[in-house]
Amino acid sequence: MKKFIITHLFIIVIFSANLFAQPSATYYNNAEGKTGVQLRIALFQIISPHTNVGYGGLYDVYETSDVTPDGKVWDMYSTCVWIPNVKKCGSYSNVCDCYNREHSIPQSWFNEANPMVADAFHVYPTDGKVNGQRSNHPFGECANGVKCDNNAHALGKLGTSTFSGYSSTVFEPDDEYKGDFARTYFYMATCYADKNFTSGQGDVVFTYSSSGNPKCNLTNYAVNLFLKWSRQDPVSQKEIDRNNAIDNHQHNRNPFIDFPELGEYIWGDSIGYVWHSNSPSAIEEVKFSTLEIYPNPVETELVVSGQWLVVSDVQIFDITGKTVLATHYSLLTTNSIDVSNLPQGLYFIKINNQIGKFIKK
């Protein structure tokens, strides 16, 4: 089913919304044949150069990028009805008073710097009151969260995180839009791979290393959360149309909408595989029916056992795609790997031999 869904979405990207820009046949050429961190660097070089529409120009972008089929403003924080460029916020007191420009990555995380402050891919038109409730809190999941003013028109909720890796206050968007926000964060971590988003509470979601290449990355918490949301909420026609409309203004695209599987190749289950745009589905892994990998999670020693393990190259990658351990098995069908020196985090093991490849988180 995974292959069918992703392939189907790719077909939609090709044929939908011919009134708007589409990626040219060569737009993603420099990302072809790349893997892991090198794939993200290539995408950064493709999408980072773009037109800054300016903070004031965002409302003009919204006239085509964020409109419902009946011509109203598409608000992911409320069910309030807005007419484009009418009831734009100054002040507000209640849900449905007005709509404004919500930075899905709060401005305080990057000190309100350009061009991030006006990048339409992460700045959405939203109800002002719900936007205020979200404040600068990270996205997350909160089982007992509360809607803004308990208003029936409000979407999303604020509460204590119940998602592993963070235990303070988070804002949980409506289920319908979780994939949208996940792919937004994949875009921002890629388009601004040279920027620092760790001010304030930004370090919950982003990491930064001045000597890194790329310098910016997502934390383990963010990778796990956004991959989950991206998988559960596939690309919608809304996102496709928005991607095309913003391209008309900014002259760049969100590759994680054009090719939803890219998140898996950079942070997810397809790390270590080479990406090609003409093969949009994630590579199907060979099923090693007798292969066992345990314990998971592991602290000191990982055991790999199975009849197909003989004569295998084994690699362990971190979430950036960097190889942190590599070995080769030629005789034994049961082997142990000492991982005690690896920092705590999320890793992937890849086993490659004569019958194919197998990857496990």
- One DSSP character per residue, 69-94 reads TTS-B--SSB-----TTSSB-S--SS
13 pLDDT more than 60: no
Identify the residue with better confidence: 348 or 226. 226
Evaluate whether 254 touches 332 at the Cβ level (below 8 Å). no
Of 174, 74, 178, the residue nearest 120 (C-alpha): 74
- Cβ neighbours around 325 below 10 Å, total: 17
Helix ranges (DSSP H) in 192-333? 220-232, 237-250, 255-258, 262-267
- Which amino acid, residue 203? D
Q: Mean pLDDT throughout 306-319?
A: 70
Report d(CA 229, CA 43) in Å as an integer.
22
User: What is the torsion angle, in degrees rounded to the nearest 10, for the CA atoms of residue 96, residue 102, residue 105 and residue 110?
Assistant: -130
Residue whose pair of structure tokens reads 């999320």 in the numeric block: 346
Mind listing the domains of the chain with CATH numbers?
2-267 (no CATH), 292-360 (2.60.40.3080)
Burial class from Cβ neighbours inside 10 Å (0-12, 13-18, 19+) for residue 208 reads: middle
Give residues with Cβ within 8 angstroms of 86, minimum separation 6: none
Question: HSE-up of 143 (CA within 13 Å, CB side)?
Answer: 4
Report d(CA 22, CA 84) in Å as an integer.
24
pTM of the model: 0.76
**Tokens linked to 176:** 């319908």
14 pLDDT more than 80: no
When pLDDT is cut at 50, 70 and 90, the band that residue 67 belongs to is very high
- Residues forming beta bridges with residue 347, ordered by sequence position: 318
* pLDDT score of 190: 98
Burial class from Cβ neighbours inside 10 Å (0-12, 13-18, 19+) for residue 286 reads: middle
Of 279, 264, 232, the residue nearest 10 (C-alpha): 279
pLDDT in tens, 139-170: 999 999 999 999 999 999 999 999 999 999 99
78 pLDDT more than 90: yes
Report d(CA 302, CA 300) in Å as an integer.
7
Strands (E), 84-153: 99-103, 123-127
267 pLDDT more than 80: yes
